[in-house]
Structure 1
Amino acid sequence: MDDRSRATRDQDIVSGINRRTGAGLRAVGRAEHGRLGGAIYASWPDGRPAVVTRFLGPPAEAERTAEVLGYVRDRGLPVPRYDLVVDLGDSVVLVQERLPSAPPRRLSPARVDALVEINDRFADALAARPDVPAPQLCLYCSGDPCRRYEVLEAHSPRSRGVLDEILRIVGRREPASMAGSDLVHVDLTAANVLFDEDDRATGVVDWNLGAFRGDRLFALVKTRIDREWFVRAPDADPVENAAAAHLDEILRDRLAPDTLRSYWAHWMLYQLCWAIQSASAEAVGWQLDLAESRLA
């Protein structure tokens, strides 16, 4: 999609929000990062900045996420306020507070420490909210609509070997919900953490897959998987490589080995299923490398 087509689409989304809510928003730009190619920057009639993003789930789940984030924000946690949840028919969109600062253009070991520190602020944030669900681990089910086991089984001898190891890990654990009372971000990539000019993490954004209750360290495994795209780049940045290695050390230090392996098993099953169906053969290959090394 070229810039003009994207701008037209953004304006159509904002116009749809205005028709349904009378918000009077105006599209003013687009973020560089994000799952959907960047959020829409907008402004309210009084000039306040806003961000418009798509929620990847039903309206009821978006409303629940907005309520949970409002609850923890009122208690001082660095998350955005959701002002509107709007069902546009073909999609659900969120109009949220635009927090200051920006995502990092590269991740250094020091920024990894800052990211881990802000994630630690979510510890026990939902201790009084047993109603908030835990993330659904994809280890314990397959078949329609998510045929994860079947995708790995059909792809190659290597993917079948990874699936066998995942099933061995599953066999040693009860299929229960994740324990813990932390606030959990299930898409905690570096692009979803805001930093100030002094490399301090100031906010966590893009909760477009929902807000959950469980073990906040689960989110850091996703952070690490996302860094592998940078580690595997042909012109890999040594600083990015050092950041990934540092995060590996943190995960090994802070999680029991069996728990860490089960988290890796969840995320690698999820990632490999997606990659086999959507990514290049090269990307599938290095994700198999990562899975074999972390599940061994």
Structure 2
Amino acid sequence: MTASSSGWTTVARLDAGRLVDALRARGVRLVREGPCPGGQVGAAYVRWEEYGRRGVLKWRPRSSVRAARAGALAVVEALRDIGYPAPATDLVAQLGDAVVTVQELLPGTSPDRLTATHLDQLLRLNDSQADRLTGHPRIPAAALHLREDGPGFCLHDPLRRHSPRTAALERRISALAERYPPLLPGNDAVHYDFHPGNLLATGPDITGVIDWDGAARGDRRFDLVTLRFGLHAANESPAVTDRLDAVLATLPDHVLTPAWAHMSLRLTDWTIRHPTPSGPTPWLDLADRHLP
């Protein structure tokens, strides 16, 4: 999956060393180790000088500590309270108009291929996200962007301009804005970018879910739709995708259709603006499975 759903900027491109120096000037004793591999939001490995523990440094422009604590960080803490394998946040700091965080480095690596055992665990984790934000009414709801552009993703105009087929998809998605609310309803914890690249595993065991930067309130089953699109991008085994498809087939229309529309828009737009050899065709074909 290539489309980033969050506003977090690639730390490596912005000189993680400069961020570490700025934090050290405030008495935060970090040592930069190097960029983290993969991903679109970007991160760098760091080490706490005093006790040697490693962490992950991230940077978000045009944000505030207050907004971070009231949004994604609050979602993560609500899940960690029940033992969900999401990383702890060891540091949150304001640097100018940006927020810098250092998160716990969880064990494991992104699995090359998801197995049925992995999927079982992911479905259980998704179930555990239910109603976790009922006591946190100020956490914002996730946006669907079926009519309006998202902040750097889910852009509609690239679809309108690219080809007759992408323009037709954009019209179908925009029409759905008349039927569904602009924000995801519900009090579940929603990761919002729940694809295989944001999962960690050691052998058959899922050890972590990372990159919660877009986390919000809504319906947890949105994450299962995101996962399905991620499996499509990774060309996963039919044994895994067919099983997830069977789960998705049980979802009510008011959950599946707007989530499918959002992900179709997100990935088609991203592929138009960041071309691949196959272009947007795989996402157009996948969109047709569940969109009217």
Query: For the superposition of Structure 1 and Structure 2, which TM-score range results when normalised by the shorter chain?
Result: 0.7 to 0.9
Gaps of 5+ in 1: 1-5, 232-238
| Residues 1:245 and 2:242 are matched in the alignment | yes
| Residues 1:283 and 2:279 are matched in the alignment | yes
| Residues 1:273 and 2:269 are matched in the alignment | yes
Question: Counterpart of 1:11?
Answer: 17
Question: Counterpart of 2:44?
Answer: 40
**Contact 1:123 1:182 (8 Å CA) reproduced:** yes
Question: Counterpart of 1:236?
Answer: none
Alignment partners' CA distance in 2, 1:32 and 1:143:
26
Alignment partners' CA distance in 1, 2:14 and 2:153:
33
Provide the secondary structure at the position in 1 that maps to 2:173: helix
Cα gap change, 1:244/1:91 in structure 2, threshold over 3 Å: closer, same or farther?
farther
Alignment partners' CA distance in 1, 2:240 and 2:124:
15
Tell me the number of residue pairs that the alignment of Structure 1 and Structure 2 aligns. 278
Question: Partner letter of residue 242 of structure 2?
Answer: A
**Contact 2:173 2:261 (8 Å CA) reproduced:** yes
Structure 1 ranges of 4+ moved more than 6 A: 143-147
Question: Counterpart of 1:206?
Answer: 211
How far apart are residue 101 of structure 1 and its match? 2.7
| Residues 1:31 and 2:8 are matched in the alignment | no
How far apart are residue 75 of structure 1 and its match? 4.1
Question: Counterpart of 1:77?
Answer: 84
Question: Counterpart of 2:142?
Answer: 135
- Superposed CA offset, 1:144-192 (max 9, x none): 987833322222110122123223333333x353221111101111222
Question: Counterpart of 1:190?
Answer: 196
- Superposed CA offset, 1:216-267 (max 9, x none): 1101211111222222xxxxxxx534322322222112x1134212111111
Alignment partners' CA distance in 2, 1:261 and 1:151:
22
- Give the structure with the larger helix fraction: 1
Question: Counterpart of 1:179?
Answer: 185
- Which structure is higher in RCO with an 8 Å CA cutoff and minimum separation 6? 2
Q: CA RMSD in A?
A: 2.8
How far apart are residue 142 of structure 1 and its match? 4.3
